[in-house]
Structure 1
Amino acid sequence: MAGAGSQEEASPAAEGEAEGEASVWACGEYRLLVWTAAAVLLPVILTLWCSVRRARREEALRRGPGLGLGLGLGSWPGASVHSWRYTDLFTRPTYCSVCGQATLRGSYCPCCGICVDDSCLAQAERRLRCKEAVQPPPAPAPAQAQPEAPAPAPAHQWVRGNLPICNSCSVCGAQCGCQPRLCDCRCVWCQRVAHDDCVGQLAAACDLGPLRRAIIPPRYLYMAQRRRRQRRPAPGEQLSQFSYMCPENWSPILVLANARSGNNMAQHLMGEFQTLLNPIQVVDLDSTTPYKALQLCTLLPSHKTRVLVCGGDGTVGWVLDAIDDMKYKGQEQYIPYVAVLPLGTGNDLSNTLGWGAGYTGDITTEEILQSVLDGEVTRLDRWSVRVTKGFYSFHRPKIYTMNNYFSIGPDALMALNFHECRQQSPFLFSNRIINKAVYFFYGTRDCLVQACKDLDQKIELELDGERIALPKLEGIIVLNIAYWGGGCRLWEGTGDKPYPPASHSDGLLEVVGVYGSFHCAQIHVKLANPVRLGQAYTVRLILKNSVMPMQVDGEPWVQGPCSVVITHKTQALMISPSKRQPEEDVQGASAQGTVES
């Protein structure tokens, strides 16, 4: 009995100890859960807070007087107009251009290279002068007989400190900006650098540097705009009157950038181009239409301007449409030549013209501008795609302009699915690899679904008025350029069979068929040939009794019964990289041959 009583007394104590241990464990688990949640959520909250703070700061800079180079010809920026950009961390040792103190974060102007911390931003806006896009020439001396006589060449505009890492003094050849303080100078126009003690030994006149052929001198813009306001000159009159302000073999470059293309590299590239060129020559297409930006060409010599489009094939087509508008409005003498810096996803047009499948930062902006200056002019056929609802022309047709290709079938279905997905979540499509992965996903899904099968029974094809007998197909693609689908030479196929030559400037279209999405994948890796249906000057397709996806240059839609007629519209003047061997290489090869002999 005593043993039983002791056990009964011990059991409540054991239960109390067990409950105490359980509460301790529960408290420990709760603390661990709290600390884990804090470790996970705190960085996320801080990141979101910093992002919101940065977005508000950038919005405040946009609304301020310093950002936004308006391209209205009557409201160009003058002196002390900075294009401020905010950064949370400078990528190299940086010193404030106002107080001279080291700073980790703050604002910088890509046009002139001035860097300031938050507390000195207002003083920098008042005291430090930026690049002047438009600058009046100095007043003529009283004894000067003709006011239009050539004025002295513009002087250097020096900015102190925060020099590029790899540089050398233009006077002594030693490296500049090595000391841990705000020291040494750089000219914002010719990009020459010099020590503080060597600046006085340089010539006072600025020749705009090695890229002078691409830069629009600010004094030229001022005189040309003033003459335009006084009266409307004849074409080419401005060059004859103000040629003394421009360098020899002058061919100014206008940069049009789409910040939403591909890898979102355009924002960084715009800053680098603003550093090298006149800020008025760099235009963000998010804030200015291409037609408005191209009006700058009307103040430049006829058939001299070159345009560099930074974006995808859609951006290039947008600019070419604006050039067509210039033709329709009587500005054909000011039509520029167009080069491409590929920042999109597919970049098939850029690949065809020789500019590559995508820019990855492997070459500098100076080399890009030099390639545009040295590039060769070529022509690009542009086509009109007329889509008429139904079989007869009672309905008003919808007209598209085609530069690359038109397709119906699995290729258009993939583009349609990608387009709808990007519209729902545009923030996910900021990387070229992600975009191609989404295309691959939809192509793989269509291999199983086969939503476009039996196309040959639903469509009729005519090439130059002759009806073509179709094999069992799922898609038809009409090509104007050599590349398709992000780098595939579709008309060429595997290259093991002879095929008629194709060109983007011969006025002919190449028409091919595909058996499905899997066949498209085989053609991409050169394991199969397309079904070559022929070449023609005019293509007509009739969709009889079905609803099918269609696309023109990546612009997809779903189309019911209709007729599609593709005819030649016009030709655009494009620029391809020069294929000529550089002069230095030729001289080196000849010298080597002389030594060997």
Structure 2
Amino acid sequence: MWTNTALIPPFGVFVPVLSTVIICFASYYFFKWINGDVIVHIRDATKNHSWTSLRMSSKAWYCSICESLLLNGIGVYCDCCGVCADTDCIKKANKRLQCKVITSKSEVFLHHWVKGNLPLGALCAICKDDCSMEPGLVDFQCCWCQRTVHTECLKGLEKECDFGPYKNIIVPPWCVQVARMKSSIHRHLLLRGVQDPGWENWYPLVVVANRKSGNNDGGVVLSEFRKYLNPVQVLDLAERTPAAALQWSVLVAPKPIKLLIAGGDRTVSWILSSVHKMDLDPQPAVSLLPLGTGNGLSRVLGWGKRSHSEIDVEKLIGSFTFYICLFVGLPCEQTWCICTIAAKVANQTAIKRVYYRLSVLNRLFR
């Protein structure tokens, strides 16, 4: 059979082309894998709310759209801003009601008022009387400063929000710098930088937990803290690695961050190992919120065996003790984690140090 071999390209032509394609694809996925550990991905709050199923409680919940009573805990609420909705009103709530903004260009920041579903025992910031005394979707709460106010007293408050009693641990939206990364499917928001607002004694709190750990208590902790902080300060270890959470230390430097680790010894070991490997400067001040069982390190440092089932963020923020963890390498190739705290005892400053061998910690709790 006759064949025209001149029309068939020699095999040597395909080799360079194929090699170039393979190298390009390998380089793309390699750098994507490298950067995926340290980039902080952000939820785009302009699209949807952060919906969470309602938990059964003695509090009555009302839909923020149709204002109907949500019976038997059937419905969802946004754990960032507090908006509630029944299943038929979720799409309407996403379109009509703005969620808690993550980033903003203006330093003039107004209250973000959410109508109804106030916490039990809420008092009006103006007249100091009880709020939500009538059934239904009544009165307002700011999802940043947490102030509550009667509808008729709303005009008596300053329009500009001062971020309330937890101002010193909140990252205000105008300090959050984001970058938009467009993929073939959808767009992503990435945390590019964090500016210092210039507030006195400002040390931002970063909360990390795995929503699947501690009998799913980790998810409850994350939801509760999103209400009080900028949602970008709350990271789920089920989605991101500790390196992404610790990237906050790099972005906020030279200011140190306060790092709250909610979980058991496995989670604590994972985070502390990452702190040691990344050699952060300054080191984050670490505190623990024990979840689940096996909280040996938490007991040693005085945080107890396990947190209560009900998470009261306001009480927790005032009771946290933060340690500076130093890592000392010994000639025998063992690394010890030294957690140091300065505490006031009888009007004198006492230094408490707890020594924990990091290699043993990793070996025991992997």
TM category, shorter? 0.7 to 0.9
Superposed CA offset, 1:377-399 (max 9, x none)? 4445567899xxxxxxxxxxxx9
Q: Taking every aligned residue pair, what percent have the same amino acid on both sides?
A: 35
Partner of 2:261: 309
Deviation for aligned residue 1:109: 0.7
Q: What is the aligned counterpart of 2:66 among 62, 75, 99? A: 99
Q: TM-score, normalised by structure 1?
A: 0.46
Partner of 1:116: 85
Q: What is the aligned counterpart of 1:268 among 220, 223, 230? A: 220
Partner of 1:504: 354
Letter in 2 for 1:128: L
Partner of 2:300: 352
Structure of higher CA gyration radius: 1
In 2: Cα distance, 1:195 partner to 1:260 partner: 38
In 2: Cα distance, 1:378 partner to 1:335 partner: 7
Count, aligned residues = 301
In 2: Cα distance, 1:124 partner to 1:381 partner: 49
Superposed CA offset, 1:280-300 (max 9, x none)? 111111111111122233221
In 2: Cα distance, 1:382 partner to 1:164 partner: 46
Letter in 1 for 2:304: G
Deviation for aligned residue 1:504: 3.1
| CA distance 1:376–1:270, shift in 2 (3 Å) | closer
Partner of 1:166: 121
| CA distance 1:246–1:164, shift in 2 (3 Å) | farther
| CA distance 1:173–1:318, shift in 2 (3 Å) | same
In 2: Cα distance, 1:378 partner to 1:73 partner: 23
Partner of 1:203: 158
Partner of 1:24: none
Partner of 2:51: 84
In 2: Cα distance, 1:93 partner to 1:73 partner: 36
Partner of 2:11: none
Q: TM-score, normalised by structure 2?
A: 0.73
Partner of 1:133: 102
| CA distance 1:113–1:78, shift in 2 (3 Å) | closer
Q: Is the 8 A contact 2:209 2:261 kept in 1?
A: yes
Partner of 1:187: 142
In 1: Cα distance, 2:60 partner to 2:122 partner: 15
Partner-residue secondary structure (3-state), 1:211: helix
Q: Is the 8 A contact 1:253 1:307 kept in 2?
A: yes
| CA distance 1:552–1:220, shift in 2 (3 Å) | same
Superposed CA offset, 1:497-521 (max 9, x none)? xxxxx9634x9x7xxxxxxxxxxxx
In 2: Cα distance, 1:381 partner to 1:304 partner: 17
Deviation for aligned residue 1:263: 3.9
Query: Are 1:342 and 2:342 an aligned pair?
Result: no
Superposed CA offset, 1:136-175 (max 9, x none)? 21xxxxxxxxxxxxx43x1100000011011100000111
Q: Is the 8 A contact 2:173 2:230 kept in 1?
A: yes
Equivalence map 1:396-475=2 (5 Å): none
Query: Are 1:554 and 2:362 an aligned pair?
Result: no
| CA distance 1:135–1:97, shift in 2 (3 Å) | same
In 2: Cα distance, 1:80 partner to 1:130 partner: 9
In 2: Cα distance, 1:349 partner to 1:271 partner: 25
Deviation for aligned residue 1:106: 1.0
In 1: Cα distance, 2:260 partner to 2:152 partner: 39
Indicate the structure with greater helix content.
1
| CA distance 1:79–1:277, shift in 2 (3 Å) | same
Q: Is the 8 A contact 2:286 2:325 kept in 1?
A: no
Equivalence map 1:386-397=2 (5 Å): none
Query: Are 1:215 and 2:163 an aligned pair?
Result: no
In 1: Cα distance, 2:213 partner to 2:142 partner: 32
Computed over aligned residues only, the root mean square deviation of the Cα atoms, in angstroms, reads 3.3
Superposed CA offset, 1:217-262 (max 9, x none)? 111113xx57xxxxxxxxxxx88xx54x343200111000123433
In 1: Cα distance, 2:151 partner to 2:132 partner: 10
Q: Is the 8 A contact 1:313 1:553 kept in 2?
A: no
In 1: Cα distance, 2:40 partner to 2:243 partner: 13
Superposed CA offset, 1:511-555 (max 9, x none)? xxxxxxxxxxxxxxxxxxxxxxxxxxx99xxxxxxxxxx992234
In 2: Cα distance, 1:119 partner to 1:182 partner: 17
| CA distance 1:101–1:320, shift in 2 (3 Å) | same
In 2: Cα distance, 1:162 partner to 1:279 partner: 20
Gaps of 5+ in 1: 1-70, 138-150, 227-237, 387-398, 404-479, 482-501, 510-537, 540-549, 556-597
In 2: Cα distance, 1:209 partner to 1:191 partner: 7
Letter in 2 for 1:206: C
Partner of 2:21: none
Deviation for aligned residue 1:81: 3.4
Q: Is the 8 A contact 1:402 1:553 kept in 2?
A: no
| CA distance 1:74–1:365, shift in 2 (3 Å) | closer
Partner of 1:256: 208
Partner of 1:371: 319
| CA distance 1:400–1:166, shift in 2 (3 Å) | farther
Partner of 1:176: 131
| CA distance 1:384–1:263, shift in 2 (3 Å) | farther
Q: Is the 8 A contact 2:205 2:259 kept in 1?
A: yes
Q: Is the 8 A contact 1:213 1:251 kept in 2?
A: yes
In 2: Cα distance, 1:263 partner to 1:402 partner: 30
Equivalence map 1:526-541=2 (5 Å): none
Partner of 2:18: none
In 2: Cα distance, 1:346 partner to 1:402 partner: 20
Superposed CA offset, 1:70-129 (max 9, x none)? x95575524353111134856521111011111221111111111100111100011111
Q: Is the 8 A contact 1:343 1:359 kept in 2?
A: yes
Partner of 1:3: none
Partner of 2:22: none
Q: Is the 8 A contact 1:217 1:246 kept in 2?
A: no
Deviation for aligned residue 1:400: 9.1
Deviation for aligned residue 1:350: 1.2
Q: Is the 8 A contact 2:118 2:141 kept in 1?
A: yes
Q: Is the 8 A contact 1:76 1:134 kept in 2?
A: no
